[in-house]
């Protein structure tokens, strides 16, 4: 009678736990190295996502101001406003009458100067908020508004939009590069850890081979070992990351409050923790697999 797949896996898992326990300090050090490699880029990604969320929030969205021609009738201007409100590239349109604009101007430092003018020099205007905030989308909308017959001039501060998107893109790329770099480091570390275990178990492997063990049977505990080591590192990494976040959240929240932005909470901590533990397990298993394949290829 052949034993089941589960029994074989359980036996291999037992061997892997024994291997982990055999050198506890090596396990601790390797776990800490791997956990740091996971927690650091995760923290950067969390900060990057939070900053992007800030600048993507209300109050900081790009606005295009379109000034109507001075001679344009109010009715015609309002018809243009109505038409743009239905445009799918536009989130919302606010009409600002020349009287309203003058009233606002009077409340500024220019108020006294305005009073000296014989008549209201300001045209009717509308502010247009694009639905999509990428520099390309904003520029395209700006061009379409400028081509509108009743519009005299269009103003948009595209520079800051580009700056914010540039910063967010750079931050995301740095976080991604760091994540890839640290993932590679984690793979190399797991590869090395499993390789050392394989070398330490050389006599046992030789005996198992002589007794008829297949590469699959020999490698199974080491596959579990890589998986366990990665999962352990992922769990410790998640704890480290959670601690860092708990420490960083109050100052970031305070910063957000000072700038009138929303709270700093890019994604739930538990979700990040689970993702970290899963990433650790997958990278650990992958590192073990590479190590085993190379070991079996080199030995007959």
Partner 1 sequence: MIHCEKLAKIYPGPVAALVDLDLTIPAGQFLLVCGHSGAGKTTLFRLIAGLETPTSGTVSVNEHDVARLGRGGLPYYRRRFGLVLSDAPLLPQRTVAENVALPLLIAGVPRRQAFERVALALERVGLAGRAHELPPTLSGGEQQRAAIARAVVHRPSVVIADEPTAQLDRDSAEEVVRLLRAFHAAGVTMIIATHDEALFAGVAQRRIVLAHGRLVEDTR
Residues at the site binding partner 1, with contacts judged by CB under 8 A: 1-4, 7-8, 11, 203-204, 206-215, 217, 300
User: CA 95, CA 102: separation in Å to the nearest integer?
Assistant: 14
- Count Cα atoms within 13 angstroms, Cβ side, for 262: 13
Q: Which of 191, 219, 195 is nearest to 286 (CA)?
A: 191
Residue 166 to residues 16, 174, 193, Cα–Cα distance (Å): 47, 12, 40
Q: How far is the CB of 289 from partner 1 (least distance, A)?
A: 18
Helices (H), 3-88: 5-22, 24-55, 74-85
Q: How far is the CB of 254 from partner 1 (least distance, A)?
A: 56
Cβ burial 92-115 (10 Å sphere, 16+ → b, else e): ebebbbbeebbeebeeeeeeeeee
| CB nearer to partner 1: pick between 55 and 217 | 217
Evaluated on CA atoms 208, 213, 216, 217, the torsion sign reads negative
| CB nearer to partner 1: pick between 71 and 297 | 297
| CB nearer to partner 1: pick between 10 and 180 | 10
| CB nearer to partner 1: pick between 5 and 259 | 5
H or E element in which residue 95 lies: strand 90-96
Q: How far is the CB of 246 from partner 1 (least distance, A)?
A: 43
Q: How far is the CB of 27 from partner 1 (least distance, A)?
A: 17
Q: How far is the CB of 211 from partner 1 (least distance, A)?
A: 5
| CB nearer to partner 1: pick between 21 and 86 | 21
């Amino acid at each position: 009678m052949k034993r089941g797949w589960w029994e074989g896996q359980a036996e291999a898992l037992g061997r892997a736990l024994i291997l982990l326990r055999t050198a506890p300090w090596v396990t601790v050090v390797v776990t800490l190295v791997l956990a740091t490699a996971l927690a650091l880029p995760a923290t950067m990604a969390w900060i990057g996502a939070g900053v992007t969320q800030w600048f993507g929030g209300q109050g900081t969205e790009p606005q295009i101001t379109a000034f109507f021609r001075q001679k344009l009738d109010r009715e015609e201007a309002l018809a243009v406003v109505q038409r743009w409100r239905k445009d799918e590239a536009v989130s919302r349109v606010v009409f600002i009458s020349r009287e309203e604009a003058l009233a606002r101007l009077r409340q500024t430092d220019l108020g006294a100067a305005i009073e000296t003018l014989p008549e209201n020099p300001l045209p009717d205007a509308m502010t247009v908020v694009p639905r999509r905030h990428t520099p390309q989308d904003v520029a395209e909308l700006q061009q379409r508004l400028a081509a509108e017959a009743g519009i005299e001039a269009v103003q948009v501060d595209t520079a800051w939009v580009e700056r914010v998107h540039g910063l967010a893109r750079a931050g995301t790329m740095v976080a991604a590069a760091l994540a890839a770099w640290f993932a590679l480091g984690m793979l190399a570390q797991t590869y090395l850890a499993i390789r050392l275990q394989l070398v330490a178990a050389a006599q046992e492997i030789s005996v198992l081979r002589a007794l008829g063990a297949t590469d699959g049977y020999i490698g199974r505990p080491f596959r579990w070992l890589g998986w366990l080591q990665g999962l352990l590192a992922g769990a410790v990494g998640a704890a480290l990351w959670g601690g860092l976040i708990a420490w960083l959240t109050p100052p970031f929240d305070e910063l957000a409050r000072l700038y009138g932005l929303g709270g700093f909470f890019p994604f739930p901590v538990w979700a990040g923790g689970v993702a970290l533990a899963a990433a650790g397990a997958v990278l650990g298993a992958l590192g073990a697999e590479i190590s085993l394949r190379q070991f079996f290829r080199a030995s007959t």
